[in-house]
Amino acid sequence: MTDSNLYARYVPANLPDGDEGEVAQLFIFNDAQMLVKLNSEHPGIPAAEDFNAVEMEFLSKQYLGKLDGYPCYCMEVAGAAAAPPGMAFQDLRSLLGLLEEEVFLLAGRAFQIVNWNRMSKFCGRCAAMTEWKQTELAKLCPGCGAVYYPRISPAVIVAVVRGDQILLAHNKNFRPKWYSVLAGFVEPGETFEACVMREIMEEVGIKVKNVRYFGSQPWPFPDSLMVGFTAEYDSGEIIVDGEEIDAAGWYGRDNLPPRPKNNTIAGRLIESVFSDIDKG
């Protein structure tokens, strides 16, 4: 994914500004799968008019704003719901690179809102049922007045460089022989830079230096924000933790293993490292 600016095409809002008609774009989720239209070369987002002759019960519906001038909603259906003819529920991750980048970013925002709504139906302080707050993207408890905002979990993702090589690792959750740069969630009280150094030490046992910001990418699986960095090898030998990481090593451009593509920040980090190396 490149540095696309979602807000060049998207105007967020909490309340619709009038009759939304049949042109509204519907981001409909069944758990972690999103409903897409299959009647074109690439999957598409269904519109309200596609459901004129379709009966489908929605558990929730929230206005998102407008994309390219068209109103958008995020919605959720029950697990037993079947996809209408010409459509299918597909895993959101599988749509990365198939949807336009801005559309995928909005789909990720929609999924995070749906998931947050699902997980915050009741107040964590007094257990009353929460309500949508009309003036902002938040849930309000009518019992005690607590306000809940969508949760975003920041995580660092790091390309560690040693000479003309990059550190790549295999996480136990990856498919076989698939490698990537290291990543981990930020803990309370940490800066991003401190998290980088801790995660690298914990997962592969080496020290790094010269930590530099690279870029970021929303990662709605289910609610992360990936913040990318580069770092230089300082000292130590690779010793994998055996819990998350079961293999790791130094790789040059000529012996790179299967890895993420450039539509992810991991892939862009890897490519950027070798582009810098090639420039000398």
For 207-242, what is each residue's pLDDT tens digit? 999 999 999 999 999 999 999 999 999 999 999 999
Residue 80's pLDDT band, with cuts at 50, 70 and 90, is: confident
Say how far apart CA 280 and CA 276 lie, in whole Å: 7
Residue 4 has a pLDDT of 61
Which pLDDT score is estimated for 185?
98
| Residue 80: count of CB within 10 angstroms of its CB | 7
How do beta strands 10-12 and 58-67 pair?
A: antiparallel
CA-to-CA distance for 178 and 260, rounded, in angstroms? 8
Cα separation of 136 and 239, whole Å? 47
Cα 172 from chain centroid (whole Å): 20
Average pLDDT, the chain: 94
Confidence at residue 62, expressed as pLDDT on a 0 to 100 scale: 94
Q: Which two tokens stand for residue 272?
A: 């950027």
Q: What is the pLDDT of residue 153?
A: 97
